[in-house]
Amino acid sequence: MTESFEPKITAFVCNWCTYAGADLTGTSRINYQSNVRVLRVPCTGRIDFMLLMKAFQKGSDGVIVSGCHPNDCHYTSGNYHARRRWMVYKDLMDFMGVDTNRVTFSWVSAAEGARWAQLVNEVTDNIRNLGPYAEYKALAVAGIE
Amino acid sequence: MRIGYYPGCSLLGSSREFDESTRAVLTALGVELTEVSDWNCCGASSAHVLNHELSLALPARILALAEQAGITEILAPCAACSNRLLSAQQELAAHPEKIAEIEAAIGMPYKGTAKIVNILEVLGRLKDQIAAKTTKPFAKKVANYYGCLLVRPPRVVNFDRPEDPQSMDLMVKAVGATPVEWPFKTECCGAAFSVTRTDIVAKLSGKLVKDAVKRGADVIVVACPMCHSNLDLRRSEINEYLGEQHGIPAMFITQVIGLALGLDPVALGIQRHMVPVEFKETAAASAQ
Amino acid sequence: MSRIGVFTCHCGENIGATVDCAKVAEMCKHVPGVAHSVDYKYMCSDPGQRMMQEAIKEHNLDGVVVAACSPRMHEPTFRRAVSNAGVNPYMCEMANLREHCSWVHEKNDATTQKAADLIRVLVEKIKHNTPLYPIKVPVTKTAMVVGGGVAGIQVALDIANGGHKVILVEKSPSIGGHMSQLSETFPTLDCSQCILTPRMVEAAQHPNITLMTYSEVEKVDGFIGNFKVTVRKKARKLDEKLCTGCGLCIQKCPNKKISDEFNEGLGTRTAIYVPFPQAVPNRPVIDTLNCTFYKTGKCKVCEKVCPTNAIRFEQEDELVTIDIGAIVLATGFKLMKTEAFPEYGYGKHKDIIDGMQFERLASASGPTAGVMKRPSDGKEPETVVFIACSGSRDRSKGVPYCSKVCCMYTAKHAMLYKHKVHSGKAYVFYMDIRAAGKDYDEFVRRAIEEDDVKYIRGRVSKIYEEDGKLIVKGADTLMGGEPVEIKADMVVLATAVQSNDRSEELAQTLHVSYDTYGFFAEAHPKLRPVETNTGGIFLAGACQAPRDIPESVAQASAAASKVLGLFSQDQLTREPIVAVVNRQAGPTYSYCVGCFLCQTACPYQAIEQEQILARNGEVIKTIARINPGLCQGCGTCVATCRTKAIDLQGFSNEQLYAEIMTL
């Protein structure tokens, strides 16, 4: 069962750096695993963490959040907001019993096509090892959703 | 202040006076030295160019012994020793995966917690006390010679400015000496060629001696046994190479401070030098 | 029920070879809300677009998903096509089947399934899309140029000649910048001041240009076409209108021993001064840090001798706010100081100088009137060593980049020296000679072959002083690393070009990005080299990266053409991807509770406070309001909002949740 398990990965990426970086991965024809589904947002600052919870609820086994490197944000400081929010939210997720290993926070710039492929492969392998996120159902039953 | 002490081979052999004067001065200043028991060679000069593992294992054993003895700070007066200890410690800190292999080689646990300090760092902390206790100001013009290993490579030793260092200059000022402005503070003395290629040493150290004299120095002050042996032990070769007779003495910084503190010159090992520590004659010689 | 059309593109073989496009199109037919689904070889081609437009009409579609390449590539193309068929362009979304799927995955069922998934996600998104309309904003047709060097002057003149008002802001008392300090210029050896000063005068006299010298940008609000810039006019301590520039005050000032910035510390000036004789405007300033009156309360000699009573000791800085449509940054560079080189004596040797100091020594208007005299004792140097790449391409100095101009100016310096001291010896230590430019390599060859400058490929490890000579110790790497020792009388370091002081501060004031080294970042390194990521702000010259004069001028004219293009429109249209605050009928009026956390999060100060008033004028509620002109659409406020009162058009909560629900 575990061997045939193909994880569902949802990636929230910013339009200016990581989305463009993932485009570059394509232009450079760097192969990576096809488990990831990319959702484009203007900036990581736009990402409300309720979106992540919803992604888990809808059956995602892992989530990637990726934007511009510090200092490179197209909107000057959106990625800093995302980073701070993540720092706070991580503890909250932990407290609620959500496995924080299933969320990967990363920076991938528009020039880092290879980095994007590497990131997706790492996360996919990691989540494949962790197995399906069955615990979330248990949490939902406990009323945390 | 209590501090661990690793003398290394030079301080037992060719540079006994560095050991004697270090112990004498630090005792006079109330510092208690705990020698690392059963210490071994640090691997200087040769290990790190021949066998990388050995160059980590030798210093690691010394540090591990120090840790076992509860030493948190370890003084290695020899510049080559402190450099090797620091290099090994930093490499193992940067590559913790190598520690197991090294521990197996030395047969004891290694943590790398002891802080390694050189003699100038220790004296620097006691500078105010030294200035206060100075009874016989060392009123000489001094060429401070740091050599290469004390301040380089900066990323390893992280001590003073790698070009034009200042710590020894400030130290000799505290005991009444006047440092001369000279450009060869960190120039090469020939180092380990002392044994194999004395001709190179004569040429390189000759430049140092000549320039120190020209800039009016009465004495060259060093903090490294290798520097000292090249400037002192090889003086006859230097003079022969230069075709000039230079009697300017080379002294360890600890000897200079010891004299200023009024300690017995014999206890400081002054009599052990090949170039006698006699100032009036040298001043006259350089005036010629 | 939505009527959405899905158009799957093969992109020739690019998508078609990996993804089974026909199967994808077939799968999409069964997605609820999809009224039409086809695949085609090249969607972006003319027939492809026409087919799409016909399908929109035939099937009465109200939304379109184009499954093709990256939206960063063709979103504008397809949105235009959809718009031409009568559907709101923002009802069109693109699924990235090429860059994010076919190019990066193997040909198998999972890849085809992923392609279908990517489309399904956007079908769900479109169901929640609303038609959006571009935002129109007016344009103030006045430009501000920050920095009055050669780049800034060129920008100002080009815009002014294009018929628009320009305000040229310069922080020092005169325009002219570094170019006014240069003696001759490479590769022609023509006099720098002779070609620059006429341009300076032209700028000063141009009816469309207003000079604001001795002034600095303090604050910038607003957005493209509608900036409000606050400029601090530093007090010159004199009435510029009354002053005639006669210079009597300068002659009589008793305080004459102040280190002269224009001469790079090689000369002296008075406390009331003009930086150089050709300064524009030719009006002095009082250096209050060094003026005897400001230090002791006595003197006022300048006031006594001034024939027009123009001196104003009590004058204060003045803040002026100006409406501006476009800003061009041309703030230039600075050189690394010789103090930064421990191996060359931490700047303690007077005869080790930097390139700009050499320019002043060689300049006819310099402290030695162009006669070669070394700074320490005024003797003519018989041997001069030039060290290229001093600091540049040196990671330990924090400058890994090439400063670009040094190879050329070092060759120029060596030549100028040889032309002035015929018997002299000139040595150049270099790493590589980078002389790419029109007539550049020929120029360097001339220095080597005709002027007998000795080029030594290698680094200098140390310089020390002995018997009044500087001993330069280096290596000749073309001779197997053989040590070289040269007894020099003077050493010139071609020190690294660095971003100007306070450039990062200025970048933050203007919300433009900058790189690790403080140089301003262009919007795209190849295709948008003079624009910044902030609309309406452009770049010219060495504030972006090290540049020589021809490049700075070319870039300046490019920036000016961008500004003129902007000013050719009376109104600007902007993407309607902006945030909006929820409004509804009373008694709630809005979900917004007025915490204004969003205001602190917004990087553009786009969020204002709005009062909801009752008929009697009483304030019922204070809520946030987003200025659509300022909002850039990052959405940080949306994620920050506690009550979910703010939403981002085009990336609304509803749209994003719809996408996630499809996964």
Domain hosting A81: range is 9-141
- Cβ distance B211 to C466 less than 8 Å, yes or no, reads yes
* Closest-CA residue of chain A to C109: A34
Which of C64, C54, C137 is closest to C95 using CA atoms? Answer: C64
CB count within 10 Å of CB C163 equals 10
* Closest-CA residue of chain A to C108: A34
Length of chain B: 288
Q: Let me know if chains A and C touch, i.e. at least 3 Cβ pairs under 8 angstroms.
A: yes
Kindly give the interhelix angle for B253-260 and B167-174, rounded to the nearest 10 degrees.
20
Task: Nearest by CB to A76, from C114, C117, C603: name it.
Answer: C603
pLDDT band per the 50, 70, 90 thresholds, residue C475: very high
For residues C505-518, b (16+ Cβ closer than 10 Å) or e, as one string?
Answer: ebbeebbbbbbebb
Q: Is residue A105 part of a domain?
A: yes
Q: Is residue A1 part of a domain?
A: no
- Cβ distance C342 to B162 less than 8 Å, yes or no, reads yes
- The pLDDT of residue C2 is 86
- Cβ distance A38 to C632 less than 8 Å, yes or no, reads no
Distance CA C313, CA C303 (A): 9
Distance CA C529, CA C509 (A): 21
CB contacts of B162 in chain C (<8 Å) are 342
> Are A77 and C514 contacting, i.e. CB atoms less than 8 angstroms apart?
no
Tokens at residue A55, please? 């992604």
- 3-class SS of residue B29: coil
Contacts of C337 (CB under 8 A, 6+ apart): C347, C354, C495
- Whether the pLDDT of residue A21 is over 50: the answer is yes
For B89-134, how does the pLDDT look when each residue is reduced to its tens digit (9 = 90+)? 999 999 999 999 999 999 999 999 999 999 999 999 999 999 999 9
Q: Tell me how far the alpha carbon of residue B69 is from its chain's centroid.
A: 24
CB contacts of A71 in chain C (<8 Å) are 513, 516
Distance CA B102, CA B106 (A): 6
Q: For C633-650, what is the mean pLDDT?
A: 93
Cis status, amide bond into C587, omega within 30 of 0? yes
Question: Considering the domain C579-662, what is its CATH architecture?
Answer: 2-Layer Sandwich (3.30)
Torsion B247-B182-B149-B114 (CA) sign = positive
Domains, chain B, ranges and CATH? 2-119 (1.20.1050.140), 136-287 (3.40.50.11810)
> Are C530 and C558 contacting, i.e. CB atoms less than 8 angstroms apart?
yes
Which of C254, C311, C257 is closest to C285 using CA atoms? Answer: C311
Cβ-in-10-Å burial (0-12, 13-18, 19+) of B82 comes to buried
Tell me B215's DSSP state.
T
pLDDT band per the 50, 70, 90 thresholds, residue A137: low
CB contacts of C465 in chain B (<8 Å) are 183
* Interface contact C663, partner A, CB < 8 A: yes
For C74-132, how does the pLDDT look when each residue is reduced to its tens digit (9 = 90+)? 999 999 999 999 999 999 999 999 999 999 999 999 999 999 999 999 999 999 999 99
> Are C33 and C122 contacting, i.e. CB atoms less than 8 angstroms apart?
no
* Closest-CA residue of chain C to A77: C603
- 3-class SS of residue C510: helix
- Per CATH, the homologous superfamily of domain C142-234+317-332+500-567 is FAD/NAD(P)-binding domain (3.50.50.60)
Task: Nearest by CB to C342, from B161, B184, B211: name it.
Answer: B161
- The pLDDT of residue B286 is 41
Q: Which of residues 190 through 229 in chain B touch C, CB cutoff 8 A?
A: 211
For C478-537, how does the pLDDT look when each residue is reduced to its tens digit (9 = 90+)? 999 999 999 999 999 999 999 999 998 998 888 788 888 999 988 888 888 999 878 899
Q: Element (H or E) spanning C648, and its range?
A: strand C646-648
pTM of this structure: 0.76
Topology classification of domain C4-127: Rossmann fold (3.40.50)
Cβ-in-10-Å burial (0-12, 13-18, 19+) of C535 comes to middle
Beta bridge partners of C460: C474
Sheet holding C34-40, edge to edge: C34-40, C4-9, C63-68, C92-96
Q: Is residue A16 part of a domain?
A: yes
Which of B250, B245, B287, B285 is closest to B269 using CA atoms? Answer: B250
- Which amino acid belongs to residue C504? E
Give Cα separations from B4 to B32, B117, B253, C451 (angstroms). Answer: 8, 10, 20, 63
Tokens at residue C483, please? 């040590």
- For B119, phi and psi rounded to 5 degrees? -65, -35
- Among C464, C466, C467, most B C-beta atoms within 10 A, so best to mutate, is C464
* Interface contact C110, partner A, CB < 8 A: yes
Distance from CA of C593 to the nearest CA of A (A): 19
* Interface contact A75, partner C, CB < 8 A: yes
> Are C629 and C223 contacting, i.e. CB atoms less than 8 angstroms apart?
yes
Task: Nearest by CB to C346, from B164, B184, B211: name it.
Answer: B164
> Are B257 and B171 contacting, i.e. CB atoms less than 8 angstroms apart?
yes
Q: Tell me how far the alpha carbon of residue C639 is from its chain's centroid.
A: 30
For C324-339, how does the pLDDT look when each residue is reduced to its tens digit (9 = 90+)? 999 999 999 999 999 9
Task: Nearest by CB to A38, from C100, C577, C636: name it.
Answer: C100
Give Cα separations from C589 to B156, B165, C626, C646 (angstroms). Answer: 66, 71, 16, 13
Give Cα separations from A94 to A45, A90, C268 (angstroms). Answer: 21, 6, 67
Distance CA B169, CA A94 (A): 57
Distance from CA of A14 to the nearest CA of C (A): 9
Q: Is residue A52 part of a domain?
A: yes
CATH 3.50.50.60 fits C333-498, yes or no: yes
CB contacts of A18 in chain C (<8 Å) are none
Q: Is residue A109 part of a domain?
A: yes
Return the domain boundaries, chain C.
4-127, 142-234+317-332+500-567, 248-305, 333-498, 579-662
- Cβ distance C345 to B184 less than 8 Å, yes or no, reads no
pLDDT band per the 50, 70, 90 thresholds, residue A143: low
- Which amino acid belongs to residue C443? F
Looking at the 3D structure of chain A, how many domains does it have?
A: 1
* Closest-CA residue of chain B to C461: B163
* Interface contact C651, partner A, CB < 8 A: yes
CB contacts of C466 in chain B (<8 Å) are 183, 211
CB contacts of C516 in chain A (<8 Å) are 71
- Whether the pLDDT of residue A142 is over 70: the answer is no
* Interface contact C76, partner A, CB < 8 A: no
**What CATH number does the domain containing A18 carry?**
3.40.50
SS3 content of chain A, % helix, strand, coil (to 5): 50, 15, 35
Do the first three CATH levels of C4-127 and C579-662 match, i.e. the same topology? no
Tell me B172's DSSP state.
H
Q: Is residue A4 part of a domain?
A: no
ipTM of the complex: 0.92
